[in-house]
Amino acid sequence: MNNIPIELVKELRNRTGIGIMACKEALLEAGADMDKAVELLRKKGLKVAEKKAARPTTEGKVGSYIHTGAKIGVLLELDTETDFAANSPEFEELLKDLCMQVAACEPLSISREDLPAEAVEKEKETFKALLEGKPERVQEQITQGKLEDFYAQVCLLDQPFIKDDSITVSDLIKSRIAKLGENIVVKRFVRFQVGGE
């Protein structure tokens, strides 16, 4: 099947934001199956993002979000490699989405590596108390699973994306890295809530 209808290519481009030729190749490889083509592009995008992860990010923007009623506010710094990418609509949209994510989901840290060790140990102790009496191997497996759930709640990059919970925030960022061709890093954020600490 070498002839893919241009309408199908355009639809895939509209859904993913990826270039026409890459969309056509993905559709060819997927036998014109739209969902398979989307998944192929996503996997290729993740590979591209992993290669770019080591590149320095010296440009970027600070975004803000004030929730309706002005009781919750967020400031977030998102960095990339060039000013050109930082001023692109894709970058701006990502920055806005990340600010909304922080407002809605209250992460404690950007990544699991940023979490204080005490917080992780406290969670482990809570799990161990609940699993007392079970074999040690079973305890370790359940504790690891519960830790993954904990990370998905409190680490921004591990959280399900609020607009599409089939992907994580990390996946979302990697897809933008693939689109823009530049590394993107969440540098820091702060969330304010009236009456909070």
157 neighbors 173 (Cβ within 8 angstroms): yes
What is the pLDDT, as a whole number, of residue 132? 75
Report residue 56 as tokens. 């320095």
Q: Is 194 helix (H, G, I), strand (E, B) or coil?
A: coil
Radius of gyration of the chain (CA): 20
What is the pLDDT, as a whole number, of residue 40? 77
Q: pLDDT grade, residue 1 (50/70/90)?
A: very low
189 neighbors 110 (Cβ within 8 angstroms): yes
pLDDT mean across residues, the chain? 85
Read off the pLDDT of residues 177-187 as tens digits, 9 standing for 90 and up: 888 888 899 99
Q: pLDDT grade, residue 22 (50/70/90)?
A: confident
Adjacent-strand bridge partners of 62: 77
> pTM here?
0.70
Helix runs in 78-166, H state only: 83-86, 89-105, 117-130, 136-154
pLDDT tops 60 at residue 52 = no
CA–CA–CA angle 61, 64, 66 (5° rounding): 175
pLDDT tops 80 at residue 17 = no
Burial environment of residue 180 by CB neighbours within 10 A (0 to 12, 13 to 18, 19 or more)? buried
